[in-house]
Amino acid sequence: MTLWGGRFDSAPDEVLWAYTVDTSDRRLLPDDIRGSQAHVAMLVARELLSPDEGAALQQGLTEIAREASDGRFGWLESDEDVHSAVERRLGEIVGPVAGKLHTGRSRNDQVCLDLRLYLSRSGREQIKGLARFAGMLVDKAEEVGDTIVPSYTHLQQAQAVPLAHHLLAYAEMLRRDAERMSGAVGRIEVSPLGAGASGGSSLPIDPLTSTQALGWSWHFVNSMDAVGSRDFVSEYAFCAAQAMVHLSRLAEELILWATTEFGWVTFEDAHTTGSSALPHKKNPDIAELVRGRTAAAIGDLTTVMVMQKGLPMTYNRDLQEDKRAVFHIDDTLAGSLGALGALMSGARFSPPPPSSWVTALDLAEALVLRGVPFREAHEAVGGLVSTLVAEGRDLASATESELVAADGRFIPTDVALLDVEASVRRRMSPGGGSFENVQRQISWIREALAKTLSE
Ligand code: ARG
């Protein structure tokens, strides 16, 4: 049964039906019911429904909510969408008064509200998932203690840093993802109910009353914007896509670190897979799939943005297509947080120490402290590096006299600067890769995450 048969002489063609009906909106069932409950409350408050009619509709909606949560709700092939299904079922339960549910409302404001309700509850879950993941990274940072690794730029060893500093960089990225999602949720929780088909209604409906019934603080100010805009969907998809990109970068590093060449990390057997051909292998499939699925997540963001770019105002059926994309990216992020979280929390780190080349900057900075312009200091250390490389030696093998020969402003005790651990211990710039800064980050990220998780 459609909600719009009146002006049609024939029933919808099978081709039309098969092509236009998308059952993916069924997951909006609880949201559709909740939105309708708020709408009915408003209709009663505005005396567009009698208290008895309102009570009958609310009781019917409550029954449908029960069916939905018990998994008993019966979908029919003839339900055009979730909105039609709820109205159909309401009629079966409460009779003809169900026909009053859609008073002062259109599926255009309804679908937008449903999606906002869904993304609000799902976004709140994602925020918690992101915060928990960041918290797990902070735990790991604590667990690896004073382990030192090279930081990389251009995938070349750059400076010595605590491994914890590297892990905390990801914790900060994920914490920011949670914060970003929470900003998006604030803009999602704006009610479009009362915008109607596009221009509002001649009935004395009141968007503020339904907004309050939803427990939200804000409603639309322009009915055309309310039913025609989906930037809240783009924003949600962006928050999820960006978080997936962060997970994908971490996944890529875990894959790299688990290679024989790097040898930084091993994973629990239960989180890795074997090779059907090569008996010695232990593959980091979870990380590879997170990296692989990020492609489709970026595709989902692209889908919702491109879908909007040529739309004339206001509602167009194209907008039905945002749901599959945003549900897909939503599931992808939730699943990836869970799986990569498990892989990462079981990871055991024991990286080899960085090469002594990572102390080259310390040598140059020692000269800077003696008043040498950085460019000159860079040149002097570069010359020493070049000589040592030509001799097949590393920086730590440089002798006191070789140092002084490289630049007369070096002093013999400067060889102590070539120690990798000392390099980390000397680091003092705020936010840098020092053990003190690791401790500061651990406490402030923990505090920020505790706040996020308690909201
Ligand atoms: N299934 C539609 C969607 O997802 C619901 C809104 C339909 N509105 C309409 N006027 N046909 O966007």
Contact in structure between 358 and 154 (CB atoms under 8 Å): no
Q: How far is the CA of 106 from the centre of ligand 1 (A)?
A: 9
Residue ranges, CATH 1.10.275.10, the chain:
12-100
Active site residue 202: no
Beta carbons of 234 and 311 less than 8 angstroms apart: no
> 107-143 and 29-45 are packed helices; what angle lies between their axes, rounded to 10 degrees?
130
Task: Enter the DSSP assignment of 413.
Answer: G
Task: Give the list of residues 6+ apart from residue 3 with CB closer than 8 angstroms, or none.
Answer: 80, 83, 84, 87, 102, 107
- Nearest-atom index, ligand 1, CA of 80: 1
Distance from C-alpha of 186 to C-alpha of 325, rounded to nearest angstrom: 21
Query: Of the residues 50, 275, 401, 443, which is catalytic?
Result: 275
Instruction: For residue 156, list its beta bridge partners.
Output: 153
Superfamily name and number for 107-144+154-349 = Fumarase/aspartase (Central domain) (1.20.200.10)
Query: C-alpha angle with apex 128: 125 to 133, nearest 5 degrees?
Result: 125
Residue 20 tokens read as 């236009």
Instruction: Using the Cα atoms of residue 257, residue 258, residue 262 and residue 265 in order, give the sign of their dihedral.
Output: positive
Distance CA 355, CA 167 (A): 20
Using DSSP, state whether 347 is helix, strand or coil.
coil
pLDDT in tens, 276-291: 888 888 899 999 999 9
Query: Which of 156, 158, 363, 333 has its CA nearest to residue 247?
Result: 333
**Ranges for all domains in the chain classified under CATH 1.20.200.10:** 107-144+154-349
Q: Is 326 in the pocket of ligand 1 (CB under 6 A)?
A: no
Gap between the Cα atoms of 110 and 99, Å rounded: 16
Closest to 137 (Cα-Cα) out of 90, 104, 161, 171 = 171
Using one digit for the tens of pLDDT, what is the confidence trace for 305-357?
Answer: 999 999 999 999 999 999 999 999 999 999 999 999 999 999 999 999 999 99
Q: Which entry of 154, 280, 429, 454 is annotated as an active-site residue?
A: 154
Total-model pTM: 0.96
pLDDT at residue number 9: 85
- What's residue 228's pLDDT? 98
Nearest Cα to 408, choosing from 361, 370, 374, 365? 370
Phi-psi region of 222 (alpha: psi -120 to 50; beta: other; left: phi over 0): beta
Q: What pLDDT, on a 0 to 100 scale, did the predictor assign at position 280? A: 86
Residues of the chain with pLDDT under 50: none
Any ligand 1 atom below 6 A from CB of 2:
no
Beta strands 190-191 and 156-162 are unpaired
Residue 391 in contact with residue 401, Cβ under 8 Å? no
Please tell me if the CB atom of residue 227 comes closer than 6 angstroms to any atom of ligand 1: no
C-alpha to C-alpha distance for 399 and 415, rounded to whole angstroms = 7
275 given a catalytic annotation: yes
Tell me which CATH code domain 12-100 carries. 1.10.275.10
Integer Cα distance of 409 and 428 in angstroms: 23
pLDDT of 1: 67
